[in-house]
Amino acid sequence: MLRDVPSPGPHQPLPAVVMNRPLLRQTLTIVGKDLRREWRSREILTTTIAFAVLLMVIFTFAFYHDDETISLVFPGILWIAIVFTGTLAVSRTFQHERDSDCLRALALIPGSQYSLYLGKFIVNLIFIAIFELALIPLLIFTFSIDVSGTLGLHILTVAVGTVGFAALGTLVSAMLVRNDLREILLPIVLYPLLIPLLIAAVQVTSAIVDGAGWPEVGSWIQAMIAMDLLYALLSLALFRWVLAAVE
């Protein structure tokens, strides 16, 4: 009869290797490693910031006609730029794990199926936040958007939308890490799943640009937070299977 790996009783202490493996420590170790790596290579941030600015310039020339159309085109341009550039960022965070084949080494570490997801999710959030810090002020300046009195709502909307995007993007990026067509498949798989969140984000941004406040957009933002939670919890639950399939 086969037995489960026994839980140690008080007379049989686990080796230190097994006892000290809190999720937080592993997650922060992965975040620290990825940020250090990015600081040295500047691979993701330089490409995403350049791509975001380029997108903004193209969209501005393509869609901007006069001040009357600002509230129509600004939300779309903002969220398309975030999603397209964010896709570039999330597609890269698992790439170096694949290149070095370190996914196999990580898969042998207990608890890594959760810490790897959380670590990559946080890293993606940081990268997206950095290019948003470059992109959004430029967009606001270019379109002369009046954010006085609505800045907090704008920041909240972008933050909530970004969390949902990073939560789902991290999972899908991991799913496709071994696929040779991953650059093509990532948007094809990811964007349909993001549609509810993106519709809400564009609606909220559009309403805020038109002068709406919390009473008008509060329920939309709450719905976005609910979607974020759903994406994050589902992704965390599924990541173990994804890792088992790609290791």
Partner 1 sequence: MPPRFPSQVILRGVCRAFGRTFALHRVDLTLQAGQAIGIVGDNGAGKSTLLDLLATTDRPTSGTIVYDDVSRQHFARRARHRIGWVSHHKLLYDELTARENLLFFARMYGVDNPADRVASWLERVGLAADADRRVRNFSRGMTQRLTIARALIHNPQLLLFDEPATGLDQQGGRFIVDLLRTLRDRGRIVILVTHDFDLLDGLVDRLVILRRGQITYDHPVEENKRIIDVYRTHA
Q: Is 46 in the site for partner 1 (CB under 8 A)?
A: no
- Contacts with partner 1 by CB under 8 A: the residue count is 40
Least distance (Å) between residue 2 CB and partner 1: 4
Nearest to 91 by CA among 118, 113, 123: 123
- Which of 46, 72, 104, 137 touches partner 1 (CB under 8 A)? 104
State the Cα angle at 214 between 208 and 217, rounded to 5°. Answer: 60
- In this structure, how many other beta carbons lie within 10 angstroms of the beta carbon of residue 2? 3
- Which of 35, 45, 53, 107 touches partner 1 (CB under 8 A)? 107
User: Alpha-carbon distance 126 to 14, whole Å?
Assistant: 36
User: CB-wise, 14 or 229, nearer to partner 1?
Assistant: 14
* C-alpha distance across the termini of the chain, in Å: 30
Q: Is 15 in the site for partner 1 (CB under 8 A)?
A: yes
- DSSP symbol at 26: H
Q: Which residues contact 108 (CB under 8 A, 6 or more apart)?
A: none
Q: Is 195 in the site for partner 1 (CB under 8 A)?
A: no
Q: Is 24 in the site for partner 1 (CB under 8 A)?
A: no
- Which of 9, 20, 65, 195 touches partner 1 (CB under 8 A)? 20
Decide if 209 contacts 145 (C-beta within 8 A): yes
Least distance (Å) between residue 36 CB and partner 1: 7
Decide if 235 contacts 166 (C-beta within 8 A): no
User: CB-wise, 216 or 247, nearer to partner 1?
Assistant: 247
Q: Is 2 in the site for partner 1 (CB under 8 A)?
A: yes
Binding footprint of partner 1 on the chain (CB under 8 A): 1-6, 8, 12, 14-22, 25-26, 29-30, 33, 36-37, 40-41, 96, 100-102, 104-110, 112, 115, 247
